Amino acid sequence: MQKEEVIVMPNGTGYLTSTQSAIVFKNEAMHLFETPTAPPFAASADNKDFMVVPWGSDNMLPQNIVEKVQESPDLSSGILFNIQVTYGDGVIPCRITYNEKGERNVVPVHDNNEINDFFQYNDVNGFLLEQITDLNYFYNVFPEIILNRQTPEKRRIVELNHKEAVFSRWTEVNEKTGKIENHLYSANWDKYACDPAITVVTPVLDPRRPLYDLLERIGRRPRANGTFKDDKNYRYIVALNFPTPGRTYYQRPYWYSIFESGWYDFAVQIPMFKKYVIENGMTIKYIIYLSDDYFPDIFAREGITEEDEKRTRIAVEYENFNKYLTGMQNQGKSMISFTRTNLNGKKDYRVEIKAVENLLKGGEYLEDSSEVSNMIAYSLGVHPSLIGSAPGKNSNFSGTDKREMFTIKQALLKPIRDRLLRPLYMVKAVNNWPPDIDFTIPDIQLTTLDKNKTGMEEKI
């Protein structure tokens, strides 16, 4: 039986047998931030017109980040670890006192029915977990507070809601006030659009002084002109983030450097190449990278719409690559690229052909895999040995070392937890809870089995 010259995989990738070439699509994460963020665009919702600030060049950066994280086991597990460690033992209301030696004593509050009811009815720990997740992914969270409709003196915050970051966008700063005044919530942000019928508009509290701003808006504190005025609005967004330099609207987490540096792309390519070799018994000498829009452009240009026709056209194109590579081998070339210049004046690689030597020979694959896992863990601020990316003989850390590293990790979470607890302190002030009430997230302290059979204890 004659061996196929061109093999087209179900996902559109391919393998050219005579030239031993793998064809993959080049959806590189390192290009996520190359194109400058687009200018604000017009949108209508709630019978009003707004200028919406896009999140990323295509206004879909949060969705793109979530997709990229899901494609990398190392990145997914590292982010999950950070979420779990930040959550600790959940948030609790407490009273904090200090003895004569200055030692801190934290006592959980169980004797205030109003506070206990608020925590129970709002599933505050579920709210916290959602906030932690978005803060780890995006450094932006969008908590919503909902008030009852009583008079200003009896006004209370009755609900805390988490608004998903992937569906959230800010409106442009008001030039007169210098503030972001509205939050738009929609599941339809692609192509710089939002459907007015499914878009929710919510006013935003001043991020520099949200509590003071809220008390003014509900008529509890005087405005700048000395008057009291109740806006009679019962929903507000609290703008919370972990700040990064030069970011007015949407923060850029420090760990995004894993995308821009190219390490992420390397991480997701390694298992793909190994899969080619193991499943198909193939040897790879060349990798042909195609841009994501390579075939959509061909289909549009040639008027191809039927799936069978598309698959046939893909096979024809791959055969053309096969012929080209045969000539390239004869000329002794090892790499060639076809580019075009995009609207920003940068080169857009339509096709890139690279020679690959000894991809899996002598364990290089394993070494590369270990190196990239360590780089991803490093970018997330997670020691590799804590999440198993440096197992067995590659790890020289004892249980005591790991407990100490875990404790250090928890200590570094204080600024993040402080940001996450901010809405609860607003609830405390508006609802007139006792002034000695505080909130804390206890850590789970690892110990030895001779001290605790579970190996864990709570540390407040």
Q: Tens digit of pLDDT for each residue in 171-202?
A: 999 999 999 999 999 998 876 777 888 899 99
Helix axes 263-280, 364-379, angle to 10 degrees: 150
pLDDT band at 348 (very low <50, low <70, confident <90, very high): low
pLDDT at 253: 96
pLDDT at 192: 73
Q: Which residues contact 355 (CB under 8 A, 6 or more apart)?
A: 285, 286, 334, 335
pLDDT single digits (tens) 194-232: 788 889 999 999 999 999 999 999 999 999 899 999 999
pLDDT at 453: 53
pLDDT band at 394 (very low <50, low <70, confident <90, very high): low
pLDDT band at 448 (very low <50, low <70, confident <90, very high): low
Least confidently predicted of 25-34, 151-160, 416-425: 25-34
Q: How far is the CA of 29 from the CAs of 26, 67, 72, in angstroms?
A: 9, 10, 12
pLDDT at 288: 82
pLDDT at 362: 43
pLDDT single digits (tens) 58-90: 899 999 999 999 989 999 999 999 999 999 999
Provide the H-helix boundaries in 281-306: 294-302
pLDDT band at 331 (very low <50, low <70, confident <90, very high): low
pLDDT at residue 460 is higher than 70: no
How buried is 15 (Cβ within 10 angstroms: 0-12 exposed, 13-18 middle, 19+ buried)?
buried
Give the torsion sign (CA, 121, 122, 128, 133): positive
pLDDT at 2: 47
How far is the C-alpha of 305 from the C-alpha of 186, rounded, in Å?
31
Please state, for a pLDDT cut of 90, what percent of the chain lies above it. Answer: 48
Q: Domain residues of the chain, as ranges?
A: 6-31+261-368, 41-257+411-459
6-15, 407-416, 431-440: range with highest mean pLDDT:
431-440
pLDDT at 131: 98
What is this structure's pTM? 0.81
333-337, 341-345, 390-394, 423-427: range with highest mean pLDDT:
423-427
pLDDT at 330: 54
Question: Mean pLDDT across the stretch 433-437?
Answer: 96
pLDDT at 59: 92
**Three-state secondary-structure class, residue 52:** strand
Q: Which residues contact 428 (CB under 8 A, 6 or more apart)?
A: 437, 439
pLDDT at 11: 62
Where residue 302 falls (left for φ over 0; alpha for ψ -120 to 50; beta otherwise) is alpha
pLDDT at 95: 94
Q: Which residue has the higher pLDDT, 328 or 129?
A: 129
N- to C-terminal Cα separation, the chain: 71
Q: Which residues contact 163 (CB under 8 A, 6 or more apart)?
A: 142, 143, 144, 183, 185, 237
pLDDT band at 372 (very low <50, low <70, confident <90, very high): confident
Residues in the chain: 460
CB distance 22 to 288 below 8 Å: yes
How buried is 391 (Cβ within 10 angstroms: 0-12 exposed, 13-18 middle, 19+ buried)?
exposed
Question: Mean pLDDT across the stretch 246-254?
Answer: 94
Q: Which residues contact 60 (CB under 8 A, 6 or more apart)?
A: 189, 190
pLDDT band at 236 (very low <50, low <70, confident <90, very high): very high
Question: Mean pLDDT across the stretch 227-246?
Answer: 94
pLDDT single digits (tens) 20-70: 777 767 666 777 787 777 899 998 888 899 999 999 988 999 999 999 999
